Each structure stands twice: as structure tokens, then as C-alpha cells.
Structure 1
Amino acid sequence: MTFFEKIGSLLGTKALRNSKSSASTQSGADDQAWMFPAPTTKIEHASSRSTISPVTSARNSQPDVSKTKWPFGDESVPRNRLSPEVELHTDSPAQVSNHAGTPTLFQSEVFFDTPHRDPLKLNPLKAAFNMILAFGLIGALIAGYAIGLQVFDLGITSIGLYGTILLSEYFVQVVCAISNRVDVNRIATRLIPRNVDSTECEKGVMGTSSCLMNPGSEVSIAVVGYREDEQAWRHCLRSLQTQKLAPKCIIGVVDGNEEPDLSMAEAFVGEFKAYNAPLIDLPILLSDLHRETYFNNVAQDTRSRIVKFWHYLAGKGRPGHAAALSLARQAVVDQVAEWNGRWNIEKLKAVCFSQPHGHKRTAMFTAFAMSMYAVRTRDAIFTTDSDTLVQDNALDEMLALLRSAPEIGGVTADVKIWNRAEGLLTRLCAARYWFAFNIERACQSMWRCVGCLSGPMSMYRTSDLETILGPWNLQTFGNKPTTFGDDRHLTNQLLAHGLKTRYTHRTWCDSESPTTFVRWVAQQTRWSKSFFREAFWFPASFAYQSPWMLVEMTIQTLYPFILVATAFHLIFDASDENKWRALIWLVTMFGIALFKCLVALFICWDPWLLLFACYGFIYFFGLLPSKIWALFTMNQTGWGTSARSSAERKRGQSFLQRSFHVGHLVVWYSAIFVGVGFLLYKLLDSALFFLIAVAAVLASIFLYWDPDWVATPKRKLTGWFNKREPDAESSAVLESSLPEKPMPAHTSAKAKRHLVNISAESVDSKITPAVSTRGSRETIDVPPRAFTLL
């Protein structure tokens, strides 16, 4: 009998999610093990030792989880328990123990739909080819640019090696994007019932049940937010209630439990009043519990730098990684089981959690853990943002694509801008979004390697999400936990496990775009940080994925630096070889962008896409310098642009805060405008053109100018002339199709100050619980079954 068979016979379950093959195929899966420790794990009696203590002092008065009935499944489902006399620990110096007595081992294969897959194997030839391709492409691009290699000589201008590669890339992108549309439509058409016209289903004119492609499937929705604008938050929640494929549970997590955060929680309870949705205030962060348990029990890292680098390339963890990861997972499972046993979360159709403020990733971790271990969502988990309006066919369409092949671990869909009519900036962002999703991600989808499953609209197979949840939460950069870029790293974790990712155009969501230039720059800087950070982490994914992913990643990484070098060379070049060279280059770039717009019109007739030809202006003066700045500030963390409530916006920014966001633009504008002045001096032979550098000062004033300073005079002027502000363009999710807006259940924000204590026996949907308040004699209105964990 092998080691794993001994473990299985003792504990009654399997060590790995894909351990259907012989034990010999599992020897290289140490870094992917979830259910149990690595083969070096021993089991022995050590009841006196205990280093995992996830139950904090705030919950010391709560009953022991070992005395709580395990709520996972009915009595017919086999449940295996660890004996109270045994303890799991590794050979590492760190001592480990069971969590809170006798925990139940959560059997993923029992509750989650786990497709059968062949064991993941590394193809040495494919890995070697990808590495040679990467370094060869980088070397060719740098060498070609350095020597000024001209591939096509057009007389007045020429196209170098990098320009040739860019044009070729776009041609491949268009062909693959169109092919992906055909493939996705074929998958959906095959699943639509034969007695129903597919075009009628797309228009939504048929009954819900007759058009479903995945009847009986289980999908839960996870939506998180932090001090979101209340109107946008309510519209988001109401759009989630219109799904044709009814979700098993809608889980909202508010990243904060202070008084300013209460409005989001109140709005959730009010919008889901028909669902009898409760509000649960969690005293701890599940993500912190997971991290602390892991680092308290992982072995000391004694590897040399060479070995660390090799393991980094191969995607392997440190010694004892699998054992500590298994214990951290078990700690989270036990804690969720305790809360589920007390509050019956698994029976809820909608629930809102508030928790101590951390960041977006901590809120998402809570939502994922509750979806998997409390609600036990069988098929998939859908994620969206707090400002997003989701189409009613989103769950059904995305699940159809997710289940079209067993190797697909996640899918994403189109993202549009619902406030695109508010200004030129939002129009340009809307055009950029169309190209990013309908060309770039659609092309990646054809190669089964979408590089980023977008946060506003993505879906993950539950069994795969459980596999990557732990490593995703443990990610660090520069010895600091990472916060932003959660969607990109989730995608990279899937790709690094050899799974595929896809994109569908058949459904979409409407998200908000920043309406001010400074806020847009802050958003793009945050996204650029996550891009560069994940680019350093990406080698683990190259070995298992298509070479196209590597080609795109290389081009996107080098593009900003080559563009900066080209721009400075053109404006500061003192030679008289061709004075109009910079102008010719500018016209050529505009012509290429216009050609892309015409191709887009052929795919999707939307005249507003022609604005993309002007997107290069804000890219050059906003996004390009922000990418360079992001590369040097990747260690700076935070929610970035995520706090959008009116109270948060009224706070404004200090001079130092604003300087951190736009200071690099001031330096960039100074250099560019001085260079433009030098270029005009060279063309027109007049030193007065150096005065154009004054434009850099005016641009800097614009960056520091607060729009609220002129808001009041503008409103007065509008009132004098009896003018009306233009209405924002209507969202793709029509207001008339949303459920009737209910009133909030709480009467005031003061309700949060009163801690509500409800006994566990009273948590029954048919019984109105007895409520007792502490610290006040006032009578307050409590939403149905709303409670706070004490």
C-alpha cells in the first residue's frame, strides 16, 4: 500500500483534487496539494501542542466548533472526522495542530462539480520553445531598434522591425477575434433547446425557462465594495436580481464596518428585502486567518537563491508549503462552518457581510469562502464590482462557455461604460474598452489564454477556484501582501495550473469610468502596477500555455519603453536629416489608429468607435508616463479609485496626495513641451518657440485644479440661463427592467452603534427573533434577521 493510500484509508478522502490516477502521478504535485499535507507529513498524538488559534478573543465566548453540528450536507453524505487524539504536523520546526478540536474535512469532490482531467505534465519541448521565443523576440526587438533596422521603406517614412511586428499582431488579433465570435456562437447555439429560436433567446422575448442553456445549474454571485456611491450600488444589486439563470446565493461583502460603511450594508438589506437577506458583521478577516495560520506553520525557507529562482520558474512553493496551505484552508473551513452552524448561511438566497476594513482582496476572499464552504455552490462563482450593471443573460451565457470544455477554469465577458455620455474622456474610454475586449481578449480567447478575467464580470469554476484561492491570498511582492490586481492574479493562477480561460461577446456588463482626468490617471496607474507585477510572476504560466500569450506579453511590456525612446529621439534629434520626420511619424500613427477604427466598424457598427483614433492623445499625455511611474511604485498599495461615495469624494486630496498621483505627469509635461519647443525652433529657426514650454506650467495647474472650486458658480450660471444638464446616456440595463426599488430597512445610520444579540435558536426564517440592544435604551428598527456577531 502506498503512502497516499494509507492516508486515504485513515482519513477517508483523497489527497488531491485530481488524484484519480495512481499515486505515482502525484509525486510532483506538492505545490498543488490542498486537502492534506505533503508526503512528509506525520500523524501522531500531540494533544498538548497547539499553534493554530484562529478564534480570537472577540469570539472566546462562542461555543466550540467541535460541539456544533456540521452543516455540510445531509446525513446520507459520508462525513469523515479526524480523531481528537491525532494531530497533523510537518517535519518543520514550526509546530502545527488541529483547529478547534475535531474539525470536519470538507470533501470538495462531493460538493463541487469537478471535471475529469489528465494529470498536469510539463512538456519540456514546449517550455524550451517558449523560453527561446521570449528571449529571441526581446533581443530582436531591442537590436532592431538600436541599429535602426528598416523592414519597409515607404519613401517619406519607413517601418521598422517593431512596427512590422505590431501590424502583424493586429492582423492576427482581428482574424482570431472573428473566429472566437464564430466559435462562441456555435457553442451557445448547440446548447439552446431545439424547439426555441436562438435569435429570440438573444433578444430575451421568450420565457426564461425555455431559453436556459444550463437549467438546474448552481452559480453564486460575489459582489464586494468599499464606500460605493449609493445609487450605483443599488442599481448594481437590482441588476443581479434580473438574471434568467437564478443564482443560488448573492453574497455581498462590504469592506468596512464603521459608520460610513453602513450605507452600503443598509442598501443591500433593502434591495433584497424580498429575500429576507440578513446583515452579518464579521469580527475578523478570513483572509488574515488564512495567512496567519499558513505562516505560523510553514517550514523555514532554507533554499539557496539559485534553488529559489528555479522553483520560481517552475511554479513550486517553499518547503512545507502544501502542508501549511492545507492547514490554513482547514482553519478557514472550520471558521466558516462555525458561522454557518450558528446563522444557517447555507439556506440564504442573499446575505451581506461587513468586516474590518482591509482591501478588495480580503473582501473577495470572504465572499469566495462563504460561496464555497457555507453555500456550497456546485458549479461556478460569478464575480462583479459594486458599480456594475450586469445583463440578465450573464450567468447562463458565461456558464455555457465555462462548461464547453473540461480544461476551462474561468471566463469573462464584454465590459462597457454606462456613463460614457458624460464627457469626451468617458467616450474615449468606452472606445478603448471595446478594442480591449472585442479584439484583444477575443483573440486571446481563441488561443484559450485570456490574460485577465475582468473584475467587473468574470466566472470561475468552483473546484478550480478552491485550488487557487490559498496561493492567491498568500501572494506577496517586495515582502508585502499584494492588494490590487486581484483579477489578474486569479487569472494567472488558473493559467499556471495549466487551465484555460475564455471570453464571450454574447453578454456584457456596464461599468463606471472615471469622469476626471486625474482620477482616470490614478486608475490606470493602479492597473499598470498589477500588469508589471504579474509580468514578473508570469514565467510559471508560459510553460503550459500557447506561445501567443508570450508574444503578446512581450510586446505589451516593451511597447511603453520603445514609444518613449522614439518620442524623445524625434523631438530632441539635432540632425538635419529630415526636419519633418516627427510630424510624418505622428500622421502615420494617427492613420494606423484610424484604420483600426474602420475595422472595428466592420465588426460592430458604432460610429463612436471612430473616436479611438484620438485615444493616442490621452495615452501619450496620461497613460504612457503613468506606466513608467507604475513600474517604480509597484510596492504602493491601496484600493486606488474604488471609494466613490459622495462623502469620500468631498474629502478631496491633500497637496502631497495629489502630487503622488500626478507629480510624474508634471515632469513628463516639462520634458515633452521643452522638446516640442526645440523641434519647432529647429523647423522655423526662431528661439521664441521655446516659450511653448510655458504650456507645461498651464498643464500642471490643470492637474492640481480641483473641479469642485468652480462647481458652485457653474450651477448658478446654469440656473440663470435656465439651462438643463444633459442626461447621461442610458445604460444597456434598462431602468424599466429592474425590480421596484425597495426602501432601506434601517431608518438611520445610528443603528450600527447598537450591537444586536440574537440567540442561535432564534435564527429561523419563520420566526421573528427576539432582539436585545446593548448600550442604549432607544428602540431601533432592525432589518429581518439582521444581526451582528459579538
Structure 2
Amino acid sequence: MMSPKEKNDDFREPVVQGHPPSASRLLLNILGCLLSLPIYYFSTVHSRYPVTLDIVITIALTELNRYIVEGRRQHFARSLHTPSFDQHLDEKKEWSGLHLEAQPCLPNADCMAAVVGWREDPSLYARALQSYKSAKTCTFFLAGIDGDEAEDQDMVNVFCQVFPENSTVIQIPEPLGEVAERIRAKTMALQRQNGIPVNEDEANAISMQACLDLARSILRQHDLTIGGPKGIKHLCLKQRHMHKKGIMFTAYVFALVISDILGIEYLWSSDSDTIVFPDSLEKTINTIASDLKAGGASSGLVVHNNRETAVTNLASAVYWGELYLTRSTPACTGTSDCQSGPSTAFRLSALPAILVPWYTQIAFGKRMIVNEDRHLTTNLLLRGWNVIFASDVLAATDTPTTMSRWLRQQVRWARATHIESLLRPKVYLVSHPLLFYGMVKREFGPAIGALAVMWFFFTGHQLIEISVMDFVFRILISTMYNFVRNTHRLRLGDVRWIVPGVFFYYIPLPAVQIYSMLTMAADGWGTSMRASGDMERAKREGMRKAWFDLGFFVVWMGIVAGVVAKVLAIHWGLVWYEKMVCIMVSMGVAMWGGWRVTIGASG
């Protein structure tokens, strides 16, 4: 196995660009998107049980996705024993830009793992790193730490303790994202000066090439041997604190260089609070290994700290009963619209063309850093790659322990969803219409719900018909299905959280949807750092910021309580002043309770 010192310095530009659809396929996609609008309209407005119908359709699509994913694995297993590997060799030749030294070999699911984080709790970080020791098919481990100050040394120490052998730590002098941005801007400036039309693709390719060269140079300076019995198998990169997108970019560039040396075709990407199971990497990558059109995949998630607080118990029920199903809607067509950050796999040949456009994304005139996982997925879909959701594979992630942190996380995720769903309409032209249908349901369903609630609150009239039995049927059907088919098997003590988890998720959802739409340009990591000293600092955030982040929830709880009080007052036949007292008291109690568990608790 060669070391960076022995390898050729010259990288050629990657030529793999995905698989763009034909003109006829584009036309069919457009017609399918147009047809999905009246289908969604009639299945909701003109259905007696729209919520029940929706869950039945979702379950059917989930089962279809499970069937297709299993078929992908079986096809990959058969390819291991097939004497002809022509397609596999063609892919190797296409990615001549990076795998210069990798010789054609049998299909396999070997991968390297990249785990990024910022000031993670040391004990949790240690558990996360330890889990990779038993992960099948993981041949190289890369840790990325977003910070190089004294407080960040804890994570470095954990890395050295977990991987005491065949490992090293490298300080990155300048974040590679900044290098890429500077060279890209300089290249486009030169194009303008020379009177040449600005070619962003060319500028992206040049800046990507420079980052790859710089990463190779850094490895050479440290005289590292990658691979082999005595070579480095665990590498920790640390750089000046920026944001998650910044450390991800650096880690991915180094992953491309190291994978070139090792002849690895796949990258597993995760967060510093995620614990993987022995088959998490292998079974996720197996879903894309035999499909040259598949650029990425992600697995399902469970919560590993579910017993910590009431909020984590409720969040765990949400992951089990809701997210498992909702993420499966477009997945059966290979158009999963979000590769979840904690559990994502990439075909490395898909990354060179998308990393710089992903990192330099601009929306509303500013750089975006809140939608790192969704924008990676969007870039894959735009270039014709399939994205798979392996719903029957699990990894365990950490969830916020308080209501305030949970809501901040949900708002951050919703902002990223809006940015990718509403500001990148081209993705629906090149993808299956089911992606558009899923977007319409996800984006406008909660918004319509918020409008209906507020309409009744102010007018006393129903905007849409609401049936209590419809919601009851929906909860019963989804719960029974999950008990039978969900890979995550609940313990007996967790069953009591299922129904409260439905209310925990769906009552704030309309408010989260509307507020996140109004504040799409806000940024940040989304959740605070968890090192003990920084948690104390986070508690001292100003009341003004707390109201900006969470005030919408306090107001919304008051509106919801007012609607419930109005319905009961009408049912009981109260006179107008009794009705007003009932509404005002209910709103006051609900708003106080909302403030108490969010703003009051974070002050």
C-alpha cells in the first residue's frame, strides 16, 4: 500500500456527473408534478377521513421502499458471485480523476467513516467512537473537530484514548472551505477581467482541485503511511472553529484523498453524538453498491438517550412512530430528499462535483450553513443520482433533553427543509414526481393546519372538516403497523409514550412550520455545545434571544388552548361572557405553561 509521499501529485478533474434524465423523462416529471396537485387536493379536502387515507398511502409507500431496498441488497449479494464485472469496471474508469491507483476489484461494501463534531460531551463522544470499532466494513476512521482552542482538546483526548494505535492528529492551518471559496472567487474574477463569460462549474472544479492538492500536501508533510499493517487507520483533523459545514467540507476532501490511496468507494458520514450498530454501515452501503446510479443512502434513526427526560422519551416515540414513515414517502423511487446527517453514506465518485457548490450555497443574499445534509442531497438529485433510504437499518442518535432545545432543533430542520424544497424547484424537473408530492404534503399540510386553527380561533367557523375519529383511526393504524414492521422494537415501558408522542410532535408542528418559513435566513448549529462549561455559558443567553427563538411556541399554545376552550364552550352552550372567560383563562394557563417549559426554563 502506497503512502501519500509515494503517490503522484497530479489529480485530473473528475468526470462523473450523475445521470441526467432525457427530454421525455423531463416531460413526464413535469406532468406528474402537475397531476399530484389535484390528487393531494381531492385526497384531503374532499375526503371524509383525509388523515387516515394519508397514513394508508404512506404505509403502502413505506412497504414498497422496504421491498425495493431488500431487492437492492440481494442484487448486490448476487454480484459478489457473478464472473462478469463490466459495469463495475466502467465506473472505475469514469472516476479516473481521483482513483488513479485503485485497480479494478470485486464489488464490496468497504468504506471509510467521517465523524464531525464541536465540543461534544466527552463521555458521549467516547461512546460514539467506540461503536465504530465493531462496525463491519469500516476500514478507515476520520474524525473532524470544529475548533482548535483549549476547550476543544477534550475531543482530541477522547480520540487518542479510543484509538491509541495506528492513529494521529493533524492541525489544519486553514479550513479548506475558506481555501475553496477564495480560489473560486479569484477564478471568477479573472474570467471577468479577461472578458470571458463566468463559468461557475469551471471555477468550482479548479477550487476543488486545489483543495485536493492541499490535502495531499498536508498528509505528505506529516509523512504518514495510509493503509497497510503498520499504516494509519484513524485520523483526527482539527481546525479553527467555523460551523458544521466547514468541518464537513474539510473532512470530505481528506476522505476523497485517503479513499484514493486505499481504493475505497464509499464514505459513511455521521455526527459526534451518533452511535452506530455493527451492521449500520454495511447494510446501508449494500443498498447502493450494485447501482451505479445511486449516489447516496441513509439509514433510520433511534434515540439512545430516550430515558433521560420526559422530552427524550417523547422524542423517541416520534422517531419510532412518525419519522420512520414520513421519510419513506418518496424513497421507493430513489429520491429520498434528506440524507440524515447522523447516518449517511455516499458513493465517493459523486462528491467531487458537488462539494464546492454545496459549501458556497447562497440564499437570501447570505451564505447558508443550517442545511448541510439536505443541500448535499439536493445536489445529488440535481445531478441525476439516486438517493436511497434504508429504513430497516438503524443508527442511534442523541436528542435534546429539554423542550426549548427540541423546538430549536425542529425549527432549524424546518428552515433547511423550506430552503431546499421551495428555493430549488429544478430538482422536481429531474426527479420522480413522488418527490414533488412528498414536498407538497410536507410543506403545505402543516401550513394549512395552522391556517385552519387560526381561522376558527378568530371566526368560530371551520375552514376544513375535522373528525376526531379520523385522528383516532390514524393513530391506531400507524401504531399497529409500526409494532409489526418497524425495525426498532419498543420495550414494554416505552409503549405509554406513543400517544403522548403524537401530540408532542403534531401540536407544535404547524407553528414550527410557519415560524421557520418566516425566519429561513437564520443560521447557527441549531443546538448548543454540550461540554459542561459551555452549557453553563449557554444558560446565560439573553431573554431577547430566547423570545425570538421560542416566543412563537408560547403564542401558539395560547391559540390552541383558545380553540379548545371555544369548542367546549360551544358544546356546553355557554353564553358569550362565559365563553370569553373560558377562552381567556385557557389561553393564559397555556401560554404560561408554554413559557415555563421553554423561555422560563432556558433563562
TM range (shorter): 0.7 to 0.9
2:267 is aligned with 1:381 = yes
**How big is each residue's C-alpha offset from its partner over 1:235-284, in whole Å with a ceiling of 9 and x where there is no partner?**
1111112223241x211111111111111111112211122x22222221
Residue 143 of structure 1: how far off its partner (Å)? 9.1
Residue of 296, 310, 329 corresponding to 2:186: 296
- Secondary structure in 2 matching 1:252: strand
Match of 2:250 in 1: 366
2:6 is aligned with 1:124 = no
Checking the alignment, whether the CA contact within 8 Å between 2:146 and 2:242 is kept in structure 1 is yes
**How big is each residue's C-alpha offset from its partner over 1:323-374, in whole Å with a ceiling of 9 and x where there is no partner?**
2112211221232122122113452211212111110010011111111124
Checking the alignment, whether the CA contact within 8 Å between 2:148 and 2:239 is kept in structure 1 is yes
Checking the alignment, whether the CA contact within 8 Å between 1:230 and 1:267 is kept in structure 2 is yes
Alignment of 1:176-575 (within 5 A): 176-180=64-68, 182-184=70-72, 186-187=74-75, 190=78, 218-247=110-139, 249-275=140-166, 277-298=167-188, 319-345=198-224, 347=226, 348-374=232-258, 376=260, 377=262, 378-435=264-321, 438-505=324-391, 507-574=393-460
Percent identity over the alignment is 21
Checking the alignment, whether the CA contact within 8 Å between 1:284 and 1:355 is kept in structure 2 is yes
Match of 2:481 in 1: 599
Residue 395 of structure 1: how far off its partner (Å)? 2.9
**How big is each residue's C-alpha offset from its partner over 1:416-436, in whole Å with a ceiling of 9 and x where there is no partner?**
111112244323322322345
TM superposition score normalised by structure 1: 0.65
d(CA) in 1 for partners of 2:293, 2:71: 16
Which segments of 5 or more consecutive residues in structure 1 lack a partner in the other structure? Answer: 1-69, 80-103, 152-157, 195-212, 303-317, 710-790
d(CA) in 2 for partners of 1:337, 1:189: 35
d(CA) in 2 for partners of 1:271, 1:593: 43
- One-letter code of the match for 1:360? K
2:535 is aligned with 1:646 = no
Could you say if the C-alpha distance between residues 591 and 506 of structure 1 is closer, same or farther in structure 2, counting changes exceeding 3 Å?
closer
2:11 is aligned with 1:106 = yes
Alignment of 1:637-786 (within 5 A): 637-651=523-537, 652=539, 653-684=541-572, 685=574, 686-687=578-579, 688-690=581-583, 691-704=585-598
- One-letter code of the match for 2:219? N
Checking the alignment, whether the CA contact within 8 Å between 2:21 and 2:384 is kept in structure 1 is no
**How big is each residue's C-alpha offset from its partner over 1:693-737, in whole Å with a ceiling of 9 and x where there is no partner?**
22134224313565599xxxxxxxxxxxxxxxxxxxxxxxxxxxx
Checking the alignment, whether the CA contact within 8 Å between 1:180 and 1:445 is kept in structure 2 is no
Checking the alignment, whether the CA contact within 8 Å between 2:108 and 2:289 is kept in structure 1 is no
Checking the alignment, whether the CA contact within 8 Å between 1:239 and 1:389 is kept in structure 2 is yes
Residue 551 of structure 1: how far off its partner (Å)? 1.0
**How big is each residue's C-alpha offset from its partner over 1:215-239, in whole Å with a ceiling of 9 and x where there is no partner?**
8764221111001111000111111
Residue 512 of structure 1: how far off its partner (Å)? 0.7
d(CA) in 2 for partners of 1:537, 1:643: 30
d(CA) in 2 for partners of 1:298, 1:412: 35
d(CA) in 2 for partners of 1:285, 1:417: 32
- Secondary structure in 2 matching 1:406: coil
Alignment of 1:33-48 (within 5 A): none
d(CA) in 2 for partners of 1:215, 1:293: 36
Residue 593 of structure 1: how far off its partner (Å)? 1.7
Checking the alignment, whether the CA contact within 8 Å between 2:318 and 2:502 is kept in structure 1 is no
- One-letter code of the match for 1:364? M
TM superposition score normalised by structure 2: 0.84
Residue 441 of structure 1: how far off its partner (Å)? 3.6
Checking the alignment, whether the CA contact within 8 Å between 1:105 and 1:330 is kept in structure 2 is no
d(CA) in 1 for partners of 2:202, 2:66: 46
Q: Which moved more, 1:585-594 or 1:251-260?
A: 585-594
Checking the alignment, whether the CA contact within 8 Å between 1:429 and 1:513 is kept in structure 2 is yes
- One-letter code of the match for 1:333? L
**How big is each residue's C-alpha offset from its partner over 1:544-582, in whole Å with a ceiling of 9 and x where there is no partner?**
32221111111111111111122234455546x99xx98
The structure whose RCO (Cα within 8 Å, separation 6+) is larger is: 2
Checking the alignment, whether the CA contact within 8 Å between 2:554 and 2:592 is kept in structure 1 is no
Could you say if the C-alpha distance between residues 288 and 500 of structure 1 is closer, same or farther in structure 2, counting changes exceeding 3 Å?
same
Residue 675 of structure 1: how far off its partner (Å)? 3.2
The total of aligned residue pairs comes to: 557
Could you say if the C-alpha distance between residues 542 and 702 of structure 1 is closer, same or farther in structure 2, counting changes exceeding 3 Å?
same
Match of 1:46 in 2: none
- One-letter code of the match for 1:664? F
Checking the alignment, whether the CA contact within 8 Å between 2:79 and 2:107 is kept in structure 1 is no
Kindly indicate which of the two structures has a greater share of residues assigned to helix: 2
Match of 1:54 in 2: none
Residue 464 of structure 1: how far off its partner (Å)? 0.8
Match of 1:626 in 2: 512
Match of 1:63 in 2: none
- Secondary structure in 2 matching 1:636: coil
Could you say if the C-alpha distance between residues 621 and 457 of structure 1 is closer, same or farther in structure 2, counting changes exceeding 3 Å?
same
- Secondary structure in 2 matching 1:420: coil
- One-letter code of the match for 2:74? R
Q: Which has the larger radius of gyration?
A: 1
- One-letter code of the match for 2:214? Q
- One-letter code of the match for 1:237? L
d(CA) in 2 for partners of 1:426, 1:192: 42
- One-letter code of the match for 1:341? R
Checking the alignment, whether the CA contact within 8 Å between 2:51 and 2:470 is kept in structure 1 is no
- Secondary structure in 1 matching 2:337: coil
